[in-house]
Amino acid sequence: MLLVLDRSDTQPLYRQLSLQLKGLIESGTLAPGSRLPTVRQLAEDHGLTRLTVQSAFAELQDQGWIQSTVGRGTFVADQTPSPPPSRLQIAGSLAELLEAADRPARYQLAQAAPSEEFFPKRDWKACLQAAMHQEGSLNYGTIQGDEGLRSQISRVLLERGLQVPPEQILITHGAQQGMDLVARTLSRPSQPVLLETPCYPGALELLHTLSRPCLEVPVEAGGPSLKAIEELCRRHRPSLFYTVPTFQNPTGLLTSPAHRASLLQLAQRYDFYILEDDVWGFLNYTPSLPPPLKAQDRNNRVIYVSSFSKTLMPALRIGFVVASEEVLQALSQKKHASDLVCSLLMQRALSEYLKRGLFQPLLQKVVPLYRQRRDALYAALQRHLGQCRVSQPPGGLSHWVQLPAGVDEQELYQEACSHGLVCARGEAFYPSPRGGHLRLSFGAHRPAELEEAAALLGQLLSGIEQRGALLRQRTRLRANPLV
Amino acid sequence: MLLVLDRSDTQPLYRQLSLQLKGLIESGTLAPGSRLPTVRQLAEDHGLTRLTVQSAFAELQDQGWIQSTVGRGTFVADQTPSPPPSRLQIAGSLAELLEAADRPARYQLAQAAPSEEFFPKRDWKACLQAAMHQEGSLNYGTIQGDEGLRSQISRVLLERGLQVPPEQILITHGAQQGMDLVARTLSRPSQPVLLETPCYPGALELLHTLSRPCLEVPVEAGGPSLKAIEELCRRHRPSLFYTVPTFQNPTGLLTSPAHRASLLQLAQRYDFYILEDDVWGFLNYTPSLPPPLKAQDRNNRVIYVSSFSKTLMPALRIGFVVASEEVLQALSQKKHASDLVCSLLMQRALSEYLKRGLFQPLLQKVVPLYRQRRDALYAALQRHLGQCRVSQPPGGLSHWVQLPAGVDEQELYQEACSHGLVCARGEAFYPSPRGGHLRLSFGAHRPAELEEAAALLGQLLSGIEQRGALLRQRTRLRANPLV
């Protein structure tokens, strides 16, 4: 096979290879259905590493140009891929994250979402069917949400150490809608909102869209900095503090019990609300988990939001808010003006699922599996990215990786994407540009694949570091030509 | 049975009867499971009409005190009803409408929604199942919505005479979310919005929640008053005009083709956007239906919203917006900050349903049935409420009934509710208090039941008119004591 690879080109080798193979397919030199050489063969013939050939193949396969069948080999696809469907270009890192999560990739580490393989399809079908046959399930239902579901959620929350009556629960379109309603109700464009950083991009996007000025509170080992909160409260009058005390996103950190008590005191002293995001609380790998802030809330300072997106499936789009009836009243007003109600059919299917006692057994099954994945990726990152600082989160689905000084996060991210590894850029988690991190979510892959992904990432990082060192050396040489 | 009924009491007779029966049950005089006298027997024994007894029974049954079994009779319930679950008291007429639609009632004329009996459960189950097995269906998906569904919607819209590529479609959580996004994007709290009145309460609620000043444009036979629009545009600078040109809610009116052309010209001349709500367009009883405004829109002045709530089921919560890519971009930004995405599972199930070509046959089946219901209720209203002006809508699911002068809409509405007939108060359709109408939606009942409902309403209205006449007579007597 005639391939011209130029090691001095700025285009990486795998990309040169994939572009040339694509050209051979487009020109008809490689006919549809014809067999390609093996990875080993191509690597040997052209003096390439196998990883380079694999990356080129992965890219061509992702784009639909070739097909691999285990045990048979790799073939040119029968149908030339049609151009990708046109999509709006939506700005923002939350959008980027959602797009990345939707992209077919060899290593899908962008989405902090449960694995589809664990989803209880059979049980869910039975519950949906039962719901469909209940009277009224196809209709609108009430604004506050299905009474039965609210009762079930009230029971589920007891497991999190939170005792709330169904009347203090509002069903929302995912936790995101709960956050939107809270931000729109309890803050105004003139009022600053405190935000722990790094922080879930959905919260950043929301506050940006609502034109709320944000004040950053750095996350530390015990939780968001109390000192920073106090200082900011003295100088500004924030209305709201957004925090994820349990398995913070992206760091995975757990706010300590003492820290939690102090946060509640500060909220009371400086008169602000706490928006507690607890979407991760059920994916817990520690034996002793403190209850949510809301459980200790004596003064109705905490609005609690959560959802079933991280335990069942994102496509459920069922979240909920827990608040005092007074606050809930105001949220409900905005809720029905925004989108009337949530799907009663889905609500009742979920209610049925919880009522049949299927949720706890599901957690008992998946939590140990996610813990295995967390451990596997952590060990692999230690092996392959020893130069990075990596978190070992006590819950949730993500590792937060701090890159060595001088490494361009954007460059590594782009290279990883083009090698079929998607993850989240650290920049997405800050309100203002700041590089140096990646978030790697391990929910979607088995330990062996996570090992491969870490190896690939390690290799790419080393490449970048070497190129950087070389560049610095050359710059030094050029800068001192007369020495 | 010892009952004391007082005809001079302000409490209506049926209510006196139901309260006393309830008292007898609560005190144990009527034991659980014991048989009640028949309607005929009770009516004869106490000199009541059968309707009065039936109304009392209906109320007791709705509250869970008694149970009727066809052919066996009426019995005291085995279990005393527990107090109704506490719900938030949510203000607003949209909330009232949703609550009314959720209430079990003998005659459900509040909800302008399709009948559950027509919902294609078997087909839908198959489509849901197919969707559940497609890769990625349980995940988030893209912000703009499933590509496959957008393609199918693009095809469906051709039937409405509207040609739009999938790229100009954004999937939303019902049409209401589309409206919310449009209002938040294309108007500001300082900019007035034009609103045809009477008008869908969801639009009123939305604009009220967003603090948008509303300017009323009266609906006339040919459509919203062009003269009013022009005058309002000259004096104010509205950003947006909300209209339902096809089977206006609540009047059912159809904006004429000439009128449509003029609306587009006005939008261009006075620089405002038109928010075209077309949720009713597919429930059409006329042979010649003009295409949506959007189909004639040469200057990207029209934002089109619709949904499948009125043709398939409200619990689907899938609507969509059609707009230029520029506008769609801005809407999408707000969409994902508000609630990320719509349920991909539901989107794909719907996509599958449309792809299998099941939507048109469904319409061909249900539209003639709804037309029958429309005709039946219209005829019955003419018979029993001859003193009212009633619309005969060329599409949609509602009649708009103008009460005779002097009749208190609120009084009739309350009486109807307490007799087990729920409908929508006319007041709900205006931004400022204005009485004198009811909206009666005929989707949920068969012709014979609609006849009964109209008879009941006629009887209640006559009662109110008679009491009113009596009162006027007495007032006259008292006012002129010396004549």
Report d(CA B276, CA B299) in Å as an integer. Answer: 15
The confidence score (pLDDT) of residue B81 equals: 60
pLDDT tens digits, A32-58: 888 888 888 888 888 888 888 888 888
pLDDT tops 80 at residue B2:
no
The confidence score (pLDDT) of residue B365 equals: 97
Cross-chain Cβ contact B138/A313 below 8 Å: yes
Q: Quote the tokens at residue B343.
A: 């349920």
pLDDT tops 50 at residue A483:
no
Q: Quote the tokens at residue A261.
A: 């008590």
Report d(CA B141, CA B194) in Å as an integer. Answer: 35
A59-63, A208-212, A427-431, B222-226: the lowest-pLDDT one? A59-63
pLDDT tens digits, A73-89: 888 887 766 544 445 66
Cross-chain Cβ contact B139/A337 below 8 Å: no
Better-predicted residue by pLDDT, A25 or B202:
B202
Tell me the one-letter amino acid at B373: R
Q: Quote the tokens at residue A176.
A: 């995101």
Cβ-nearest to A314 among B129, B138, B142: B138
All residues of chain B having their beta carbon less than 8 Å from the beta carbon of residue A351 are none
Q: Quote the tokens at residue B44.
A: 């004869």
pLDDT tens digits, B428-464: 999 888 889 999 999 999 999 999 999 999 999 999 9
Cross-chain Cβ contact B206/A125 below 8 Å: no
pLDDT tens digits, B289-308: 999 999 999 999 999 999 99
Report d(CA B443, CA A140) in Å as an integer. Answer: 14
C-alpha pair distances (Å), A418 with each of A412, A423, B65: 10, 11, 68
pLDDT tops 90 at residue B18:
no
Better-predicted residue by pLDDT, A232 or A472:
A232
Tell me the one-letter amino acid at B190: S
Cross-chain Cβ contact A166/B92 below 8 Å: no
Picking from B314, B311, B176, the residue whose alpha carbon sits closest to that of residue A345 is B314
DSSP category for residue A35:
B
What number of helices (H) and strands (E) belong to chain A? 15, 16
Report d(CA A353, CA A340) in Å as an integer. Answer: 24
- Give the model's confidence band at B252: pLDDT under 50 very low, under 70 low, under 90 confident, else very high: very high
Inter-chain contacts counted by CB atoms under 8 A, chains A and B:
231
pLDDT tops 70 at residue A274:
yes
- Give the model's confidence band at A94: pLDDT under 50 very low, under 70 low, under 90 confident, else very high: confident
Cross-chain Cβ contact A140/B101 below 8 Å: yes
Q: In b/e form, how buried is each residue of A110-136, taking b as 16+ CB within 10 angstroms? A: bbbbbbbebbbeeebebbbebbbebee
Cross-chain Cβ contact B341/A317 below 8 Å: yes
The answer to whether the beta carbons of residues A395 and A285 sit under 8 Å apart is yes
Sign of the dihedral through C-alpha B233, B238, B239, B245: negative
Report d(CA B401, CA A327) in Å as an integer. Answer: 38
The distance of B205 to chain A (nearest Cα, Å) reads: 6
Picking from A345, A173, A140, A142, the residue whose alpha carbon sits closest to that of residue B314 is A140
Picking from A328, A317, A343, the residue whose alpha carbon sits closest to that of residue A174 is A317
C-alpha pair distances (Å), A450 with each of A109, A113, A387, A443, B176: 9, 15, 18, 10, 42
Report d(CA A359, CA A353) in Å as an integer. Answer: 7
Element (H, E) at A232: helix A226-235
Cross-chain Cβ contact B139/A167 below 8 Å: no
A66-75, A296-305, A331-340, A446-455: the lowest-pLDDT one? A66-75
Tell me the one-letter amino acid at B141: G
Cβ-nearest to B88 among A205, A325, A337: A325
All residues of chain A having their beta carbon less than 8 Å from the beta carbon of residue B345 are 313, 315-316
The confidence score (pLDDT) of residue A10 equals: 61
- Give the model's confidence band at B72: pLDDT under 50 very low, under 70 low, under 90 confident, else very high: confident
Q: What is the mean pLDDT of residues A144-169?
A: 96
The distance of B309 to chain A (nearest Cα, Å) reads: 9
Q: Quote the tokens at residue B141.
A: 């998906």
The answer to whether the beta carbons of residues A145 and A170 sit under 8 Å apart is yes
Average of per-residue pLDDT values in chain B: 91
With H, G, I as helix, E, B as strand and everything else as coil, classify residue B349.
helix
Question: Which of the residues B89, B139, B172 would you substitute to probe the A interface, choosing the one with the greatest number of A C-beta atoms within 10 Å?
Answer: B139
All residues of chain B having their beta carbon less than 8 Å from the beta carbon of residue A314 are 138-140, 341, 344
DSSP H stretches of helix in B314-358: 325-339, 344-355
Q: Which residue of A has its CA nearest to B86?
A: A167
Average of per-residue pLDDT values in chain A: 91
Non-local (6+) Cβ contacts of B216 within 8 A are B195, B196, B197, B228, B430, B431
Report d(CA A247, CA A279) in Å as an integer. Answer: 9
Question: Which of the residues A97, A147, A343 would you substitute to probe the B interface, choosing the one with the greatest number of B C-beta atoms within 10 Å?
Answer: A343
Q: Give percent above pLDDT 70 in chain B.
A: 95
Tell me the one-letter amino acid at B364: Q
The answer to whether the beta carbons of residues B395 and B252 sit under 8 Å apart is yes
The confidence score (pLDDT) of residue A108 equals: 95
Report d(CA B281, CA B92) in Å as an integer. Answer: 27
- The alpha carbon torsion through A200, A202, A206, A208 (nearest 10 deg) reads 60
Q: Quote the tokens at residue A256.
A: 């300590």
Cβ-nearest to B173 among A95, A314, A339: A339
- Dihedrals phi, psi of A426, to nearest 5 degrees: -60, -35
- Give the model's confidence band at B64: pLDDT under 50 very low, under 70 low, under 90 confident, else very high: confident
Please provide the distance, in angstroms rounded to a whole number, between the alpha carbons at the two ends of chain B.
48
Q: Quote the tokens at residue B380.
A: 């019955």
The confidence score (pLDDT) of residue B91 equals: 65
Q: Which residue of B has its CA nearest to A89?
A: B329
The confidence score (pLDDT) of residue B10 equals: 61
Q: Which residue of A has its CA nearest to B328?
A: A88
The confidence score (pLDDT) of residue A183 equals: 97
Question: Which of the residues A87, A339, A344, A366 would you substitute to probe the B interface, choosing the one with the greatest number of B C-beta atoms within 10 Å?
Answer: A339
Instruction: Please state the length of chain B.
Output: 483
Q: Which residue of A has its CA nearest to B121?
A: A132
Better-predicted residue by pLDDT, A130 or B17:
A130
Q: What is the mean pLDDT of residues A403-429?
A: 94
Better-predicted residue by pLDDT, A49 or B376:
B376
The strand pairing partners of B307, in sequence order, are B319
The distance of A477 to chain B (nearest Cα, Å) reads: 48
DSSP category for residue B161:
T
Domains of chain A (ranges plus CATH)? 13-76 (1.10.10.10), 93-118+361-474 (3.90.1150.10), 121-356 (3.40.640.10)
The confidence score (pLDDT) of residue B82 equals: 54
Q: Which residue of A has its CA nearest to B125?
A: A129
Cross-chain Cβ contact B317/A142 below 8 Å: no
Cross-chain Cβ contact B85/A111 below 8 Å: no
pLDDT tops 50 at residue B85:
no
Report d(CA B305, CA B174) in Å as an integer. Answer: 9
Q: In b/e form, how buried is each residue of B129-148, taking b as 16+ CB within 10 angstroms? A: ebbbebeebbbbbbbbbbbb
The confidence score (pLDDT) of residue A170 equals: 98
Q: In b/e form, how buried is each residue of B22-38, taking b as 16+ CB within 10 angstroms? A: bebbeeeebeeeeebee
